[in-house]
A and B are shown apart, each in its own frame.
Chain A
Amino acid sequence: MSTMSTKSTENPHFQDHLMEHHHEENFFTKYIFTMDHKMIGKQFLVTGMFMGIIGVMMSMLFRLELAYPEQSFPILEFFLGKWAPDGVMSPDMYLALVTIHGTIMVFFVLTAGLSGTFSNLLIPLQIGARDMASGFLNALSYWFFAMSSVVMVVSLFVESGPASAGWTVYPPLSALPQAMPGSGAGMTLWLVSMTLFIVGSLLGSLNYIVTVLNMRTKGMSMTRLPLTIWAFFVTAILGVLSFPVLLSAALLLMFDRLLGTSFYLSDIFMGGEVLSYSGGSPVLYQHLFWFLGHPEVYIILLPALGISSEVIATNSRKPIFGYRAMVGSILAIAFLSFIVWGHHMFITGMNPFLGSVFTFTTLLIAIPSAVKAFNYITTLWKGNIQYTPAMMFSIGLVSTFVTGGLTGVILGDSALDINVHDTYFVVAHFHIVMGLSAIFGMFAGVYHWFPKMYGRMMNKSMGYAHFWLTFITAYGVFFPMHFLGMAGLPRRYYSNTAFPMFDNLADINVLITYFAIIGGIAQLIFIFNFFYSIWRGPKAPQNPWKANSLEWTTPVEHLHGNWPGEIPMVHRWAYDYSKPGAEEDFIPQNVPLAEGEESGH
């Protein structure tokens, strides 16, 4: 693989070279220690799905507790053992479940599972490259992610319980084992896992950036890139600039925990004595955490938006509306995402002037976001919409992106944030705008590129059923939460029964739990469809969706180097759908301009 540099792609003997190596593959080189970007993408996807199953199951368990506080369920005892004596979930376990649910969904599913899968699969295929710039780094990136997943899963089984200080793990709660059982060995493993995760993410991101910048095929100018690639490219830049800051935050926290330093700790009285920490600031951690944490939201969201742009254009049989505005808004969102982190900290006691600045920058993000939403809708206008399951999930994404984005206008306003900060209003907001939009984008990606990944088609009818059940239950779970938040209900409460003023909200919590359980079970349709189709789905044609981008010019059977012959040259952008004068309603990027035809890009 080391011979596969940029130069070798031009080598006419490349194919012979490939053939020599092809038959040497065995199980381990093909599926485990592969350096082929397509296989690495699938590794990310399957690992992400596995983690996703854990994360979603956890949410179903704590939803049970929220609907029926302190009641006994045999299933809780089955899964939680000593953490649910007589089937009643303990408060510590409740906090552990919400913490690990958040960590897994944010990092393991929606960062690695989404961006890792599709950046790996699509960047070389859509820009016309034989593979990533460095296949070895790419494989290393996956294996760091895999190790970090293993450590995270192992941390669930330590005696004192997994990390339970919330997914943001604010010190001092997370720093002091005396503060809660989950801040013992479970927290140490959490930090180890995140450190591995960050290393993996950085290796991957550097690779994506270099590949997009250096390995585009002839004719593939930046303005001819499909929006997926723009999204992955900018996401990778965000990751490279922000994850190191989280790494430093995690390392300092590790020092405070293990070496007795006081970066985040000061003046603490616990267990009947004053601890020896002095001079640190817990708010420093929050600044470092959210300096990653906010760009992280867009690390999650941008790939989903990129995927849906591609899927919506293809299946509306129309060019994406306002390509340059779409690229511009990705760049604007990415830039702004670095200067808004303080909106998570309006009420930490930081200088009110900072609050004003962060309110200003935060509300600005609404402008590029609005442009994106309107451009999606205009792309549908006068289209010829083909309802593939991927298209359904993309339309679902536009809906949740609008619904959740709008409440951001409230939460980004420091004055309004005061009274809904850390209530269910926030839970509703970020689950809809980031969680649902991203997971819908991920589903859209899986349904759309499944034929490219496995050479077979997923079952359409199961896809429809999966979409409708997911879409309805997702809103059913998260929309009512706005009303809980407006009633003042704080998040991360093990039970709301300690406050009679919340007694009349109990019915809503039961309703939400029903939706959550149905929605969770509905995902089995997807998992079944996924694995069944890998082995038994109908064989895929080369270009099942009649799409323009380059990945559909590769053969269905995977091969190292992607194209059997030379890499195709690109003559046009990826969105020549329904172009007047053309015979078909799509013109792939590698088709030369017809005589007299104008290229917009």
Chain B
Amino acid sequence: MNTVSIIVLVVLAILTLVQVMRISEVSSEIQGGKDNEVSEKDNDTQGRLMLLVGMGFVISVVVMYVVWGRLSLPEPSSEHGSEIDGLWNLSMLIINIVFFIVQPILFYFAYKYRGKKGTKAVHFAHNNKLELFWTVVPALALAVLIIWGLNVWSTLMMPENDEEPIVIELYAQQFNWTVRYSGSDNALGFASVYDIEGANIVGVDTQDAASADDVVTKELHLPVGKPVLFQFRSQDVIHSAYFPHFRAQMNCVPGATTNFQFTPTITTAEIRQNKDVKRHVEEVNAIRTAKGEDVWDFNYVLLCNKICGAAHYNMQMDIIVETEDEYNAWLNEQKTVAETL
């Protein structure tokens, strides 16, 4: 019944609109029938609106920066993170300069050159100097960004290590993460999906000597100031290990091992004292208390950032960055593969 009445309403609304249109057309025909042509008045009104709305848009962008700028991720908690943020800031500066020059010019021209009776446009078909100018200037700006960008990229992807990085495996499956530490030999034992059985959820080959001291856990602890080489595997579909606070991300691809290295620089305890993080936590907790939800304390978090199925939105793991001593103490408490399997 409800559906029928909605359909009837929609039909009636369309019929009304058609009649209104017809009446307005008939009345305009009586007045000479020019009503639907673009008049000088239209050019004037729409030209002014272009300036008004266009500038309104540009100003609203400024407002958004002011109001929402604070929502961005806090300072990077990894060594390479500051290089990424430096490059990010330069790129943002350049594109914002272009944005705040080009958009106002566009809307100003749209207003300034709105059609007027009796004026004739200027016949200006090309100008090689001008065109060369705005080919070369973007090219130069891009050259800077490309060279800097490639530099940062290669230091990220091929880091020079003074000390051997700690090797940690991150193992993805629908819809959770598992961690495997390489233990005292800093070498991961061979593993494959063919070895998955019972409690051996990541498929460690127990015959491999390197696997004996491996530690499989559901918690991710990292020592501060030590380079960590993550190796990623997935057992089912593609996942993506996203560490937003460390400016790190790598896909986990079934059938292959991928890797990403970074050095955490700020412990969880320290970042909780960061003023941006503190404000963020206060803001969030105000919202949560109002809704009657649990109070939240900041934790570094690992998210899945490649669509992987129904619970993709909740595939997460906390990351605890602590001092080396705390880390070693925690790791020593964990049972090794030799002990559990």
Contact = CB atoms under 8 A, between A and B. Distances in A.
Whether chain B is bound by chain A comes out as yes
B43 A165 contact: no
Contacts of A504: 71, 280, 283-284, 287
Contacts of B4: none
A495 B153 contact: no
A402 B99 contact: yes
Interface in A133-183: 165-166, 170, 172-173, 176, 179-180
Interface residues of B, number: 123
B95 A410 contact: yes
B105 interface: yes
A395 B110 contact: yes
B73 interface: yes
Nearest to A362: B146
Contacts of A320: 125
B253 A283 contact: yes
Given A367-B142, A381-B113, A488-B73, A422 B240 contact: yes
Interface in A264-280: 265-270, 274, 279-280
B124 A494 contact: no
A431 interface: no
Interface in B138-157: 138-139, 142, 145-146, 149-150, 152-154, 156-157
B103 A580 contact: no
Interface residues of A, number: 123
Contact of B236 (A270, A378, A494): A270
B218 interface: no
Contact of A578 (B94, B120, B138): B120
B284 A460 contact: no
B238 A170 contact: yes
A490 B303 contact: yes
Given A352-B154, A385-B47, A503-B284, A269 B142 contact: no
Interface stretch (B17-25, B178-186, B322-330): B17-25
Interface string A469-502: 0011001000110011011101011111011110
A199 interface: no
Given A367-B138, A370-B134, A536-B22, A386 B115 contact: yes
Interface stretch (A44-52, A117-125, A412-420): A412-420
A349 interface: yes
Contacts of A495: 313
Given A381-B109, A500-B296, A319 B306 contact: no
A479 B193 contact: no
B235 A415 contact: no
B305 interface: yes
Nearest to B314: A498
B220 to A, nearest CB: 16
A304 to B, nearest CB: 17
Contacts of A383: 109, 113, 121-122
Contacts of B107: 399
A423 B72 CA distance: 12
B146 A359 contact: yes
Nearest to B109: A380
A526 to B, nearest CB: 13
Interface string B26-46: 000000010011100011001
Contacts of B250: 347, 349
Contacts, number: 365
A387 B236 contact: no
B143 to A, nearest CB: 9
Interface string A384-396: 1111100010010
Given A349-B251, A352-B153, A536-B22, A585 B287 contact: no
Nearest to A467: B46
A399 B54 contact: yes
A217 B106 CA distance: 36
B145 A384 contact: no
Contact of A179 (B103, B284, B309): B309
B308 interface: yes
B235 to A, nearest CB: 4
B106 A380 contact: yes
A321 to B, nearest CB: 6
B38 A386 contact: yes
B49 A468 contact: yes
A355 interface: yes
A266 B238 CA distance: 12
A415 B131 contact: no
Q: Which of B42, B71, B158, B280 has the most CB of A within 10 A?
A: B71
B142 A274 contact: no
A269 B253 CA distance: 13
A505 B71 contact: yes
A225 B314 CA distance: 54
Contact of B193 (A267, A322, A402): A267
Contacts of B209: none
A523 interface: no
Interface in A500-526: 500-501, 503-506, 508
Contacts of B308: 173
A281 B60 CA distance: 46
B14 interface: yes
A347 B240 contact: yes
Interface string A538-582: 100000000000000000000000000000000000010111100
Given A413-B91, A503-B287, 5 more contacts: A317-B121, A370-B135, A403-B103, A483-B68, A580-B123
17 contacts: A91-B313, A172-B254, A173-B237, A180-B309, A266-B256, A324-B126, A363-B145, A383-B122, A384-B115, A409-B91, A416-B84, A419-B248, A422-B305, A459-B21, A488-B73, A493-B312, A495-B313
Interchain residue pairs A-B with the least CB separation, the first 4 = A266-B255, A349-B258, A488-B244, A352-B157
Interface of A: 78, 90-92, 95, 165-166, 170, 172-173, 176, 179-180, 265-270, 274, 279-283, 316-325, 347-349, 352, 355-356, 359-360, 363-364, 366-367, 370-371, 373-375, 377-378, 380-388, 392, 395, 398-399, 402-403, 406-407, 409-410, 413-416, 418-419, 421-423, 457, 459-460, 464, 468, 471-472, 475, 479-480, 483-484, 486-488, 490, 492-496, 498-501, 503-506, 508, 528, 532, 536, 538, 575, 577-580, 585, 600
